[in-house]
């Protein structure tokens, strides 16, 4: 903990779909990171009207909704097809985070962030960039995440 509260290599602001998938990739590559979410996981979706149906289909071949093709939304039991509901999507995002060990620090509203220089073994290394992204609807999940997040 530093004066800003949290010190890490990468700060991901927001535990929405983009932040969770990015954290999943960082975890896979052993990159130290923190996901900070002012509400709960998938908060933007919690704020939407109950029963809302997604515009994006979540079915094999036309799937725009899944975070990864390896763990698609349509493989989860009870998901409404072809268009999942807000509730389906929330369950999926929560399950994705849980099943992939993505940790989200909830109820943490990020007021600001800054890069710092870390001294390791006598050398100075800049911290990695801060990310604040937004998932873009209407393109494939893979393109979506790479395009929006990196």
Give the nearest distance from C-beta 9 to ligand FAD in angstroms: 18
Give the nearest distance from C-beta 125 to ligand FAD in angstroms: 26
Our CB check for ligand FAD shows the closer of 18 and 91 to be: 18
User: Which burial class, exposed, middle or buried, applies to 14 when counting CB atoms under 10 A from its CB (0-12, 13-18, 19+)?
Assistant: buried
Residues facing 36 on adjacent strands:
13, 105
Q: Which residue is nearest to ligand FAD (CB)?
A: 16
**Binding stretches for ligand FAD (CB under 6 A):** 13-19, 36-39, 43-44, 48, 54-56, 64, 109-110, 133-135, 137
Give the nearest distance from C-beta 134 to ligand FAD in angstroms: 4
Our CB check for ligand FAD shows the closer of 98 and 125 to be: 98
Please state, in angstroms and rounded to a whole number, the distance separating the CA atoms of residues 89 and 2: 36
DSSP state of 53: B
| 121: Cβ contacts below 8 Å, ≥ 6 apart | none
């Amino acid at each position: 903990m530093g004066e800003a509260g949290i010190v890490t290599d990468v700060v991901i602001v927001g535990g929405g779909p983009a932040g969770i998938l990015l954290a999943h990739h960082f975890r896979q590559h052993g990159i130290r990171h923190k996901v900070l979410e002012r509400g709960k996981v998938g908060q933007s979706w919690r704020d939407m009207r109950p029963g809302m149906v997604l515009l994006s289909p979540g079915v094999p071949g036309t799937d725009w909704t899944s975070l990864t093709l390896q763990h698609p939304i349509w493989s989860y039991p009870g998901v409404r097809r072809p268009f999942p509901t807000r509730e389906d999507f929330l369950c999926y995002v929560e399950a994705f985070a849980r099943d992939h060990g993505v940790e989200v620090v909830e109820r943490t509203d990020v007021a600001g962030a800054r890069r710092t220089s870390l001294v390791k073994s006598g050398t100075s290394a800049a911290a990695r960039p801060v990310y604040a992204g937004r998932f873009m609807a209407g393109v494939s999940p893979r393109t979506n995440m790479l395009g929006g997040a990196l």
